[in-house]
Amino acid sequence: MQLAAQPVQPIESYYERFRRLNPPMFNGGSDPMIAEAWIRELEKMYELLQFPEEVKVKLAISMLRGSADSWWTAMETAYEVNGTAWGDFKRIFYAKYFSDSVRQMKQNEFLSLTQSEHMTVSDYVNRFDELGRFCPQFMEDDMSRANRFEQGLRHEIRSRTSSQLITSYMDILDRALRVEAELKRSDRERADLMRSRSDRSQSGRPWDFRGTPIQEKPRVRNYSSRSHSGIINITIADPKARTYSSRSHSGPYMRRARACYSCGRTGHLARDCPYKRRNELRPPVPGEQRPRSNARVLH
């Protein structure tokens, strides 16, 4: 039993389905990558719609504009291209817009591709995949693809990923992304530390190695006071001692040291001064002049 042949659909029905996918137009130009990308975009749509070969060429021709449309019109006039298969159309199209020399140049770019200093791993992946389609011998085998990818990584990333055996392309890609994240975190921490050190040096305060401000010890000043019995040394530990005026030393300084106003000694107040009472009770010696009780603080 012979199967009935499927009815041939009019070109309009194919075009209507094709148009719903919003196919790109091609205007010609000198950028071979645009031409190559246009062919790849059409082939994705053809694979989805399952169009026959002869329909693919007609739909592609309908998308030509500008200099590209003029070029194909000249080709139809000079050569018999009616009924051209899709493979033949691509060969003719590539000879014009994506020559073998351009393809060889892209292959060399892929073989020499490396991750630059300012290129992220994601940027490197995009460029790797873009150029890799011109070298299918590397991209079709997973381990060949993984090894070529690792070779192009920046040294500071590759030196950390090569310590373990590569199992697949996705394995080396995941490692590279994790190493990149660790390096970025280290760079941020280093920048924060340098900024913190700069702020400390501008503030003038001492800091310890943990970044904690060091508590300054109170300044210690030695003062001397003369009394009738000689010179008395008074040590005052007071961080605010320098705020006192240089005048009237016997007032504020004596109060801060809690020294006796009568004899200048510490440990008691003037009203309880034993030396004052002793001097008052001792009978005066003829010709003797009693010393003045006001203490003077020398500094």
Domain-by-domain residue ranges, the chain? 11-98, 105-188, 220-281+294-298
- Can you give the pLDDT at residue 283? 59
Query: Which long-range contacts link 58-63 to residues 24+ away (Cβ below 8 Å)?
Result: 58/11, 59/14, 59/15, 59/18, 59/23, 60/86, 60/89, 62/15, 63/23, 63/24, 63/25, 63/26, 63/38
- Can you give the pLDDT at residue 213? 60
Reduced 3-state DSSP string for 81-110: CCCCCHHHHHHHHHHHHCCHHHHHHHHHHH
Beta-bridge mates of residue 223: 234
Q: What are phi and psi of 151, to 5 degrees?
A: -60, -30
Q: Using CA of residue 93, residue 97, residue 101, residue 106, what is the dihedral sign?
A: negative
Mean pLDDT, consecutive 10-residue segments, the chain of 299 residues? 52 89 95 96 94 90 96 84 83 94 96 95 97 94 96 95 91 96 89 74 61 59 49 49 43 55 77 71 56 48
For the chain, the helix, strand and coil percentages under 3-state DSSP, each to the nearest 5: 55, 10, 40
Instruction: Tell me the whole-structure pTM to 2 decimals.
Output: 0.58
Residues sharing a CB contact under 8 Å with residue 8, sequence separation 6 or more, in sequence order: none
Q: With contact defined as beta carbons under 8 Å apart, do 250 and 297 qualify? A: yes
Instruction: Label residues 124-150 b or e (16+ Cβ within 10 Å = b).
Output: bbebbeebbebbeebbeeeeebbebbb
Joined together, the tokens standing for residue 215 give: 């508590």
CA–CA distances in Å: residue 138 to residues 141, 196, 211:
6, 48, 52
3-state secondary structure of 236: strand
Q: What angle do CA 149, 151, 155 make, to 5 degrees?
A: 115
- Can you give the pLDDT at residue 197? 72
Beta-bridge mates of residue 222: 235
Residues sharing a CB contact under 8 Å with residue 273, sequence separation 6 or more, in sequence order: 260, 262, 263, 265
